[in-house]
């Protein structure tokens, strides 16, 4: 369904409908702001960006294209979601291959909600003795957060909504939308 400005205001992903929440132009401005902060904080350094698959691949790609400092990127895959709910068990599916001892690490995540996945990743990374670890998350659900760590680069704090698009998914679908959509609770 198109709105008056030509944007798709409502989408269907699998069996659910979602309404427009955040347009790609605003997303781009947020990512640019995060990149600028990282450039300032990491002048003269060569951090390793560590994207958390599957969701963070789009944010990581956009962020790396905007960052001006020398850097590298790698990916890990952790999973806690099943359907629309975050589970209590976090599984590491793909691990880290790079040597990170003494390196500056920036974890790139699409969304932090309960924080369980990030807490597991942070614990795993600690054993490799990086110089520092910071977190860049596009979205943060403060209401759902149950852990005790800091998100150093937070793009957008959102209420405890279920959202898709810009890498965020519903059961693996909906990641490809350039805008972010929230679940239509009236259906």
**Catalytically active residues, by annotation:** 113
Q: Report yes or no: 47 and 104 within 8 Å, Cβ to Cβ.
A: yes
The secondary element (H helix, E strand) that includes residue 2 is none
Measured between alpha carbons, how far is 12 from 59 in angstroms, rounded to an integer? 22
Number of other residues whose CB lies within 10 A of the CB of residue 22: 20
Q: CB atoms < 10 A from the CB of 144, how many? A: 16
**Dist. CA 116–CA 181, nearest whole Å:** 23
């Amino acid at each position: 369904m198109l709105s008056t400005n030509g944007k798709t205001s409502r989408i269907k992903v699998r069996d659910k409908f979602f309404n427009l929440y955040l347009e790609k132009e605003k997303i781009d401005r947020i990512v640019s702001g995060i990149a600028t902060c990282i450039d300032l904080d990491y002048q003269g350094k060569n951090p390793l960006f560590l994207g958390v698959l599957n969701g963070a691949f789009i944010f990581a790609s956009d962020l790396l294209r905007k960052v001006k400092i020398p850097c590298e990127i790698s990916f890990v895959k952790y999973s806690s979601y099943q359907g629309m709910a975050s589970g209590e068990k976090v599984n590491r599916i793909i691990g880290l291959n790079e040597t990170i001892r003494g390196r500056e690490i920036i974890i790139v995540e699409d969304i932090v909600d309960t924080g369980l996945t990030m807490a597991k990743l942070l614990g795993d990374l600690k054993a490799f003795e990086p110089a520092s670890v910071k977190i860049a998350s596009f979205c943060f659900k403060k209401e759902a957060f149950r852990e005790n760590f800091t998100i150093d680069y937070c793009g957008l704090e959102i209420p405890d909504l279920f959202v898709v698009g810009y890498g965020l998914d519903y059961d693996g679908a909906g990641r490809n939308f350039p805008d972010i959509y929230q679940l239509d609770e009236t259906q």
